Amino acid sequence: MTTVNVMRQQYRELTEVERLQVQEVKQAGLAFWQLCDRLAPPQGNRELDLAKIRMEEAVMWAVKHLTG
């Protein structure tokens, strides 16, 4: 059985390809987040706020996948 240390003590160096992929994911997430922000009325909107939160989570999980 393989043991995975979820509390990583040392971070590994990313390859250039991984760095570019992380940057691409973050830029795509930011573009979608900003679009939702522009669509929201001045007083805010619960659905769009939730969409922005989920986008932040999606970016986090995608980056975690790439850097794991």
pLDDT in tens, 12-68: 889 999 999 999 999 999 999 999 999 989 888 999 999 999 999 999 999 999 998
Q: What confidence tier does 5 reach under pLDDT thresholds 50, 70, 90?
A: low
Angle at the Cα of 53 from the Cα atoms of 48 and 58, rounded to 5 degrees: 120
- Whether 40 is covered by a domain: the verdict is yes
- Whether 5 is covered by a domain: the verdict is no
- Whether 11 is covered by a domain: the verdict is no
Question: CA 12 to CA 20: how far, in whole Å?
Answer: 16
Number of domains in the chain: 1
Question: CA 60 to CA 22: how far, in whole Å?
Answer: 10
Question: CA 21 to CA 10: how far, in whole Å?
Answer: 21
Range of the domain at 27: 16-67
Q: Is 8 left (phi over 0), alpha (psi -120 to 50) or beta?
A: beta
Contacts for 41 with CB less than 8 Å, ≥ 6 apart: none
